[in-house]
Copies of this chain bind each other. A is one copy, B any other.
Amino acid sequence: MHAEQPVRTGRAKRLPRAVRERQIMDAAVDVFSRLGFHAASMDEISDVAGISKPMLYAYLGSKEELFATCIRREATRMMEAIAGGVEAEAPPDVQLWSGLRAFFGFVGENRASWQVLHRQASSQGGPFAEELADMRGRAISLVAALLVHSADFGNVPRAGDKEAESLAAALVGAGESLADWWLDNPEEPAGVVAARLMNLVWMGFGDLVAGDVWHPPSRRPESVADGAPVS
């Protein structure tokens, strides 16, 4: 994972800007993931990064900018890791499966990144939530497209976009939650856990598309809608 230098002493060596920037962001991701946005202090970040606070500001701007930059970088890294594991020409189920595997792989190897993305980012108000929600939204859309594409293959009346999107949201949430569960229960290999989710979702989705649905014994499920007005 990202390196740290707990205490710093003396003058920092002059380094090319790009290297410095990465060094700082590594430190920032580490600190943010451990303490969360608010509890993390610029003092600690600069300490961990091994530079002085004015440098921190010179390179990455304000605390908010720094956080946003971290999130963007980590989100990009994750998206790229996933995209890199997926073959665009493969059939939908294979794409989904490869994506899941890549996702679990990334989470396992980048715990700090994952913590920042999953836990910290969503809990802040301000501009972060929006940015992160955007990225998450894009991920959901990609999955939704996959689902739609797959359903098309099956000669079935095309499911509404909204239906696919909602299922994609559920799938993404399931993946996130399962990833967290896996971090707490690491005795099972990532592949097994990922496969389990793949099975659950893909088979369920197949049944759904095939019209093979579950029915409540007596009442129609829609009946609940009456009791849940959206304010």
**Residues of A that sit less than 8 Å from B by CB:** 1, 34-39, 91, 93-94, 97, 101, 104-105, 108-109, 111, 119-120, 122-125, 140, 162-163, 165-167, 169-178, 180-183, 185-205, 207-208, 212-214, 216-217, 221-231
Contact = CB atoms under 8 A, between A and B. Distances in A.
6 contacts: A36-B124, A166-B188, A173-B174, A174-B174, A186-B230, A203-B214
Given A166-B178, A221-B97, A224-B101, A200 B196 contact: no
Contacts of A195: 221-222
A175 B189 CA distance: 24
Assembly of this chain: how many copies? 4
A194 to B, nearest CB: 6
Nearest to A228: B190
Contact of A213 (B169, B174, B199): B199
A200 B169 contact: no
* Nearest 10 interchain pairs by C-beta: A173-B177, A204-B204, A189-B225, A38-B38, A190-B228, A123-B123, A191-B224, A169-B181, A191-B225, A203-B207
A153 B191 CA distance: 28
A229 B183 CA distance: 11
Given A36-B124, A228-B109, A169 B163 contact: no
B189 A222 contact: yes
Contacts of A230: 108, 183, 186, 190
Contacts of A187: 162
Given A122-B123, A228-B191, A200 B104 contact: no
A203 B213 contact: yes
A177 B39 CA distance: 26
A184 to B, nearest CB: 8
A129 to B, nearest CB: 9
A39 to B, nearest CB: 6
A40 B189 CA distance: 40
Contacts of A217: 91, 94
Contact of A224 (B1, B105, B124, B205): B105
A115 to B, nearest CB: 9
A225 B105 CA distance: 8
Contact of A228 (B108, B205, B224): B108
